């Protein structure tokens, strides 16, 4: 009898407590807000693709623009109806190649030096210096290119060879800008190579250089390739250095010592004035922006794919 | 016998190999030195532009303004005000009085007005710091020969007045106050947009998101956005904030149409554009900070019956906060230095009044540097150098603050 009443008692008590999960509306709302924040970046991408695509489409639908012509002729002069993309592309390639000629060898050597040679004390001094170099606004590099690199080139090569505005000084300074980017990604890749690999190489009598160049660098190759591709993408999209130092006006040339406008430089110059909506100029910056976006996005995706696919995994 | 030959061969080669090692070591070291030398050259180059001799000719010779042998500089405020009243048109004088009553101005300020409005120095030539130091006598000789009436002064283009004055078209009296205020206003809206959404996205991705395709797409998308060139964000801002959302960004829907605003090219548009630009950087940095919070902390909180959000809000976020703030400050300093998107969005350059609301036209420090650098005259290059120094000091103090935060953070963990 007492047992039964006890059981009843327990039943009575627990029946008051609902052990099912309570819906907490506050939590649900917060979670929805957080999801919205996460999803916001998708809106940004959609916005970029939609706006660039829409206006670029309008550009190509304009009577004076034809895609075929813009790929086969060599003049970009919106006011006379010439829209050949090549002058802008060649100068973009020119500055990018020059920048990479500086940034790849220097950036990789700096990375090898920091990760394989430098002792911790030196590294603790050098790394912040490189970070400072990476943190300087690009407009400051533009000033540097125009007031230091250009006069330097003109003193060395002669004032009749090098114009006041030229792609060479812009490219060289851009190389310095990209150096810390390449060196830091490469250094991360190099230091991810396990110690045991280095010790095995030392064990069979390799010198420090042979360990660095024949063991560590090949093992980190995927990271290095990714660094280079990210560097190229950065160089193509770099704007203020070329806007300040590379000169105004598209110029179909491969001579690095004369002025020529890059894609980004052109966008900046065109939009710097008062731009009226739906004009040819207005739509053309969207078409150029779309080209820029596609190229840099492709490069970034390739670099991520390289890292994912070719990463050497060590136990 | 054979073994000895192998050892012999090894030893033969050894000299060459170690010599090669030394050479390459030197090459690696030299590359690093190149980076440091460039940084030093960059700084010296800016210093070189920011100080130096300036030769200028006055429209009115200050000596003729002396009263009873007292040069203008040492005259009392009342004398200077009287001088202004007699020289300027009454309209111009009343306007000055309206801007700020003469009674409230100090002698220094009134003297500055006399220089700006009456003496009106015009620059003849500008020298860099290097040539000012090395060719002093030659400079004096040329000026004495070519411009006998000109005054030669050693000028620091970066001076307290430079920071306090608004922009003007006269290099000697131009300042960066307008640009600094423009930068601060812009950054305010950048933070208001990017910080809450960035941290929210990081919390979602690290704490809530399960490993499904949608969340993987979001993560990949954020990584890709971080690599999009900044000028693309400028074009996006032009299309969305300046054009499509013009009623909002120009203040029209609030009935706040500022007669000086040019359509949607306002502080608000610029700030939001930069907000989109730094959003992926803030998300990635905040994710790293949240990931560094130990698992045990979350488990302990959940074990005593806290809900997911209670755990995140009172345990994960406070622990990750210094890291999140450090990452945000670094992203903000990137935004402060950005120029390209603002050129496209349409920050104006020739603005002499301070921004007063989110719907004001504006210019920023890097925009001002860009505009001055693009002008061919040397005096504007010098102004650009001085403005660069202001910008670098601003960025340096932000970064120092970030490092302080980081150090406090690492000590506590």
Q: What is the pLDDT along chain A (315 residues), one digit of tens a residue?
A: 455 565 666 555 555 666 667 778 888 999 999 999 999 999 999 999 999 999 888 888 877 777 777 676 767 776 666 777 888 899 999 999 999 999 999 999 999 999 999 888 998 888 888 888 888 999 999 999 999 999 999 999 988 888 889 999 999 999 999 999 999 999 999 998 999 999 999 999 889 999 999 999 999 999 999 999 999 999 999 999 999 998 888 888 888 888 888 999 999 888 876 677 778 888 888 999 999 999 999 999 999 888 888 776 665
Q: How far is A277 from chain B (nearest CA, A)?
A: 8
- For residue A48, being part of any structural domain is answered with no
Tell me the average pLDDT of chain B: 84
H or E segment and range at residue B124: strand B121-126
H or E segment and range at residue A139: helix A138-144
Q: How far is A266 from chain B (nearest CA, A)?
A: 11
- For residue A280, being part of any structural domain is answered with yes
Which of B21, B230, B373 lies at the smallest CB-CB distance from A244?
A: B373
Mean pLDDT, residues B71-87 = 78
Q: How far is A138 from chain B (nearest CA, A)?
A: 7
Which of A126, A132, A239 lies at the smallest CB-CB distance from B32?
A: A126
B261-278 exposure pattern, b = at least 16 Cβ within 10 A, e = fewer: beebbbbbbbbbbbbbbb
- For residue A43, being part of any structural domain is answered with no
Residues 101-160 of chain A whose Cβ lies under 8 A from any Cβ of chain B? 105-106, 109-110, 112-114, 117, 126, 129-130, 132-133, 135-144, 146-148
Q: How far is A272 from chain B (nearest CA, A)?
A: 6
- Chain A CB contacts of B36 under 8 Å are 126, 129
Task: Provide the residue range defining the domain that includes A225.
Answer: 86-293
Q: How far is B273 from chain A (nearest CA, A)?
A: 11
**Closest chain A residue to B310, measured at CA:** A27
The whole-number pLDDT of residue A50 equals 94
Q: Cα dist. B167→B176, B353, B370 in Å?
A: 6, 8, 14
- Chain A CB contacts of B235 under 8 Å are 51-52, 267, 285-286, 289
Residues 223-282 of chain A whose Cβ lies under 8 A from any Cβ of chain B? 230, 233-234, 236-240, 243-244, 264, 267-268, 271-272, 275, 277
The whole-number pLDDT of residue A10 equals 56
CB B199 within 8 A of CB B324: yes
User: Could you report how far apart the first and last alpha carbons of chain A are, in Å?
Assistant: 67
Using a CB–CB cutoff of 8 Å, tell me whether B217 touches chain A.
yes
- Chain A CB contacts of B204 under 8 Å are 34-35, 37-38
- Right CATH for B177-412 from 3.40.190.10, 3.40.50.300, 3.50.50.60, 1.10.3720.10: 1.10.3720.10
Q: Residue B51 pairs with which residues in a beta bridge?
A: B156
User: Of residues A162 and B8, which shows the higher confidence score?
Assistant: A162
Instruction: Give one DSSP letter per residue of B134-185, joined into a string.
Output: H-HHHHHHHHHHH-TT-EEEEEESSSHHHHHSPP-SSGGG--SHHHHHHHHH
Using a CB–CB cutoff of 8 Å, tell me whether B305 touches chain A.
no
Least confident range of B35-44, B180-189, B369-378: B369-378
- For residue A21, being part of any structural domain is answered with no
Q: Tell me whether 0.95 is exceeded by the ipTM.
A: no
**Closest chain A residue to B7, measured at CA:** A205
Mean pLDDT, residues B238-263 = 74
In this model, does residue B285 exceed pLDDT 90? yes
**Inter-chain residue contact B392 with A55, CB threshold 8 Å:** no
The whole-number pLDDT of residue B4 equals 55
Residues 108-137 of chain B whose Cβ lies under 8 A from any Cβ of chain A? none
CB B189 within 8 A of CB B362: no
Q: How far is B349 from chain A (nearest CA, A)?
A: 9
Q: Could you tell me what percentage of chain A is helix, strand and coil, using 3-state DSSP and rounding each to the nearest 5? A: 75, 0, 25
Contacts A–B by Cβ distance under 8 A: 245
Using a CB–CB cutoff of 8 Å, tell me whether B154 touches chain A.
no
- For residue A28, being part of any structural domain is answered with no
- Kindly provide the residue ranges of all beta strands, DSSP E only, lying in chain A, ordered along the sequence: 76-77, 82-83
- The band of B391, judged by pLDDT with boundaries at 50, 70 and 90, is very high
Map residue A250 onto helix, strand or coil. coil
User: Could you report how far apart the first and last alpha carbons of chain B are, in Å?
Assistant: 62
The whole-number pLDDT of residue B288 equals 93
Instruction: Count Cβ atoms within 10 A of the Cβ of residue A152 and give its class: 0-12 exposed, 13-18 middle, 19 or more buried.
Output: middle
Q: Report phi then psi at B324, rounded to 5.
A: -60, -45
Nearest to B383 by CA among B147, B132, B172, B108: B172
**Tens-digit pLDDT profile for residues B188-221:** 999 999 999 999 999 999 999 888 899 999 999 9
Using a CB–CB cutoff of 8 Å, tell me whether A71 touches chain B.
no
The whole-number pLDDT of residue A1 equals 47
Residues forming CATH 1.10.3720.10 domain(s) in chain B? 177-412
The whole-number pLDDT of residue B409 equals 65
Mean pLDDT, residues B380-385 = 90
User: Of residues B48 and B9, which shows the higher confidence score?
Assistant: B48
The whole-number pLDDT of residue B200 equals 95
Nearest to B383 by CA among B167, B186, B181: B167
For chain A, the domain total comes to 1
CB A246 within 8 A of CB A259: yes
Using a CB–CB cutoff of 8 Å, tell me whether A187 touches chain B.
no
How far is the C-alpha of B107 from the C-alpha of B400, rounded, in Å? 38
**Tens-digit pLDDT profile for residues A194-231:** 999 999 999 998 899 999 999 999 999 999 999 999 99
Nearest to A238 by CA among A145, A94, A138: A138
**Inter-chain residue contact B28 with A148, CB threshold 8 Å:** no
CATH number for A128: 1.10.3720.10
Q: How far is B64 from chain A (nearest CA, A)?
A: 39
Q: How far is A127 from chain B (nearest CA, A)?
A: 10
- For residue A44, being part of any structural domain is answered with no
How far is the C-alpha of B60 from the C-alpha of B84, rounded, in Å? 13
Pairing of β A76-77 and β A82-83: antiparallel
How far is the C-alpha of A241 from the C-alpha of B340, rounded, in Å? 10
**Inter-chain residue contact B229 with A238, CB threshold 8 Å:** yes
């Amino acid at each position: 009898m007492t047992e039964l009443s006890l059981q009843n008692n327990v039943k009575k008590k627990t029946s008051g407590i609902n052990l099912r999960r309570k819906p907490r509306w506050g939590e649900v709302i917060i979670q929805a807000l957080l999801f919205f924040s996460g999803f916001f970046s998708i809106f940004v991408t959609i916005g970029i693709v939609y706006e660039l695509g829409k206006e670029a489409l309008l550009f190509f639908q304009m009577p004076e623009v034809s895609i075929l012509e813009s790929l086969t002729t060599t003049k970009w002069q919106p006011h006379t109806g010439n829209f050949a993309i090549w002058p802008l592309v060649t100068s973009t390639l020119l500055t990018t190649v020059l920048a990479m000629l500086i940034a790849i060898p220097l950036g990789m050597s700096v990375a090898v030096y920091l990760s394989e040679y430098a002792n911790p004390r030196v590294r603790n001094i050098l790394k912040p210096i490189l970070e400072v170099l990476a943190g300087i606004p690009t407009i400051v590099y533009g000033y540097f290119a125009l007031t230091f690199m250009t006069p330097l080139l003109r003193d060395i090569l002669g004032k009749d060879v090098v114009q006041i505005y030229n792609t060479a000084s812009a490219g060289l300074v851009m190389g310095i800008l990209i150096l810390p980017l390449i060196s830091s990604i490469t250094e991360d890749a190099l230091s991810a190579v396990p110690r045991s690999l280095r010790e095995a190489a030392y064990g069979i009598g390799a010198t420090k250089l042979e360990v660095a160049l024949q063991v560590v660098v090949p093992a980190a190759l995927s990271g290095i390739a990714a660094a280079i591709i990210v560097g190229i993408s950065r160089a193509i999209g770099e704007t203020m250095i070329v806007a300040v130092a590379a000169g105004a006006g598209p110029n179909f040339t491969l001579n690095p010592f004369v002025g020529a406008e890059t894609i980004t430089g052109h966008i900046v110059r065109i939009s710097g004035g008062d731009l009226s909506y739906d004009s040819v100029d207005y739509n053309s910056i969207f078409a150029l922006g779309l080209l820029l976006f596609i190229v840099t996005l492709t490069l970034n995706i390739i670099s991520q794919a390289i890292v994912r696919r070719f990463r050497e995994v060590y136990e | 016998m054979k073994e000895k030959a192998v050892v012999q061969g090894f030893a033969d080669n050894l000299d060459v190999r170690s010599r090669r090692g030394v050479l390459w070591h030197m090459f690696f070291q030299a590359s690093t030195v190149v980076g440091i030398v460039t940084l030093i050259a960059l700084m010296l180059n800016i210093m070189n532009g920011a100080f130096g001799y300036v030769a200028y000719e006055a429209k009115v010779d200050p000596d003729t303004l002396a009263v009873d042998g007292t040069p203008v500089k040492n005259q009392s405020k009342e004398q200077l005000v009287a001088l202004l009243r007699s020289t300027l048109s009454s309209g111009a004088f009343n306007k000055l009085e309206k801007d700020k009553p003469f009674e409230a101005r100090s002698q220094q300020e009134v003297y500055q007005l006399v220089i700006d409005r009456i003496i009106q120095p015009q620059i003849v030539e500008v020298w860099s710091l290097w040539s000012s130091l090395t060719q002093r006598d030659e400079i004096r000789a040329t000026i004495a020969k070519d411009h006998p009436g000109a005054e030669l002064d050693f000028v620091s283009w970066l001076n307290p007045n430079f920071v306090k004055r608004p922009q003007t078209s006269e290099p000697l009296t131009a300042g960066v106050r307008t640009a600094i205020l423009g930068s601060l206003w812009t950054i305010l809206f950048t933070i208001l947009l990017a910080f809450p959404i960035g941290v929210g996205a990081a919390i979602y991705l690290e704490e809530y998101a399960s490993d499904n395709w949608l969340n993987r797409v979001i993560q990949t998308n954020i990584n890709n956005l971080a690599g999009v060139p900044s000028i693309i964000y400028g074009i996006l801002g032009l299309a969305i904030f300046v054009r499509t959302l013009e009623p909002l960004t120009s203040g029209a829907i609030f009935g706040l149409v500022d007669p000086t605003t040019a359509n949607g090219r306002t502080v608000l548009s610029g700030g939001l554009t930069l907000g989109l630009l730094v959003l992926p950087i803030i998300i990635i940095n905040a994710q790293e900070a949240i990931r560094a919070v130990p698992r045990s902390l979350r488990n302990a909180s959940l074990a005593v019956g806290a809900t997911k959000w209670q755990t995140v809000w009172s345990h994960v976020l406070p622990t990750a906060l210094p890291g999140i703030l450090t990452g945000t400050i670094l992203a903000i300093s990137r935004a402060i230095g950005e120029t390209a998107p603002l050129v496209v969005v349409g920050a104006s350059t020739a603005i002499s009044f301070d921004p007063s609301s989110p719907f004001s036209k504006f210019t920023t420090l890097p925009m001002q540097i860009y505009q001055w650098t693009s002008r061919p005259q040397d005096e504007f290059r010098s102004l650009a150098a001085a403005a660069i120094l202001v910008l670098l000091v601003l960025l340096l103090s932000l970064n120092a603050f970030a490092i302080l935060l980081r150090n406090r953070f690492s000590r506590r963990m």
